[in-house]
Amino acid sequence: MGYLNNSNITVDAILTRKGRELLAKGRNEFNISHFALADDEIDYSLWNPDHKLGTAYYGSVIESMPITEAVPDETQLMRYKLVSLPRDTVRIPIVSVPNNSVELTPGAQVLVKPQTINYSEGNSTYGYTAILADGDVATIEVVEPSISTGKVSSPPSGFTESSQSVSLVGKVFRLKAKSAIASAKSTTLTIYGNETGGQTVINVFVKKQTISTTPGTPLGSNPEISLP
C-alpha cells in the first residue's frame, strides 16, 4: 500500500498474484491476518535540527517528499519495515550470519543460518526474509520454516527464476549455485529480521565451470568436467 499524496489520505492497494488467486477462491480464503508498514521512501539524513524556523520545521523536507506508488513485488518494496520493540530495549537488534561472503563452485550448496544478537529470542516466531537478487546465479530454498507459517514458503504461482530476484521467509535457508556456469557470476543475498528489523547482506560468488575433453574424443562422449 502507499499514500498517493500529502493532502488527502488516499490508500492505493494492489494485490499480488497470490492475493488475486485467494480472492478468486472466495472471501473465506482471502483473510488478511497481518500487515506491515515500511519507510522505504524516507531519507532521514534530511532531518534538519538547524532549520532557522524552529523545531516545527526540522522534518519539513521529509514530510514533503513524494511517496512511491504501491508495487506488488515484495523483492523491491517494503525493505525497511517498521517494528515495535519494548520500551526498555537498550540495544538495537542486529541480524548476523557467520560469513558475509560465500564462494561456491557450480552445483555446490551452503546453509545460511541467520541469528539475531543483542535481543533475546529475536525473530524466533516470524523468522527472516531472504532475498536473492539474481536467480540466474543460484537457487534458494527454506530448510527450517518460521513458527508463524508452519510450512515452507515458496515462490508465487507462475514464478520463473531466470533473471529475477527470489524472496522467501524462514529461519534457515539452503543456497545452491547453478550448474553449467559459463563465466564467473556474483549476486547478493539480503537477510531481513521480520520482527526486530535490521538486515545483513551476503555477497555470493560462483566460479565458472570449465569442460575439458580428451584429445581425439568427440565432444559429448563422456567429457570430463573440472571445477577450478
Give the list of residues 6+ apart from residue 8 with CB closer than 8 angstroms, or none.
none
- Report the DSSP beta bridge partners of residue 117: 94
The structural domains of the chain, ordered by start, are: 2-63 (no CATH), 94-210 (2.60.40.1080)
Give the list of residues 6+ apart from residue 142 with CB closer than 8 angstroms, or none.
152, 153, 154, 168, 169, 170, 172, 173, 174
Is 49 or 69 the better-scoring residue by pLDDT?
49
How do residues 12-68 score in pLDDT, each as one tens digit? 677 877 788 888 888 788 887 777 778 877 888 889 999 899 988 898 888 888 777
Dist CA 19 CA 166 (whole Å)? 18
Residue with cell 543456497: 175
**DSSP summary character for residue 204:** E
| Among 118, 116, 119, 141, CA closest to 130 | 141
**DSSP summary character for residue 112:** E
Residue 90 sits at φ, ψ, to 5 deg, of -110, -10
Is 226 a residue whose pLDDT tops 50? no
What does the pLDDT read at residue 228? 36
| Alpha helices, H only, the chain | 17-25, 60-63
What does the pLDDT read at residue 37? 78
**pTM (2 d.p.):** 0.67
Mean per-residue pLDDT over the chain, rounded:
79
What does the pLDDT read at residue 90? 81
A 10 A CB-CB count for 198 gives: 22
E strands, 77-147, in order: 94-96, 101-104, 109-112, 115-117, 128-132, 138-144
What's the first-to-final CA gap in the chain, in angstroms? 47
How do residues 155-193 score in pLDDT, each as one tens digit? 443 344 445 888 889 999 999 999 877 788 999 999 988
What does the pLDDT read at residue 87? 83
Residue 100 in contact with residue 201, Cβ under 8 Å? yes
Instruction: Kindly indicate the confidence band of residue 127, based on its pLDDT and cuts at 50, 70 and 90.
Output: very high
How do residues 87-106 score in pLDDT, each as one tens digit? 888 888 899 998 899 999 99
Angle at 116 between CA 202 and CA 75, to 5 degrees: 45
Residue 61 sits at φ, ψ, to 5 deg, of -65, -45
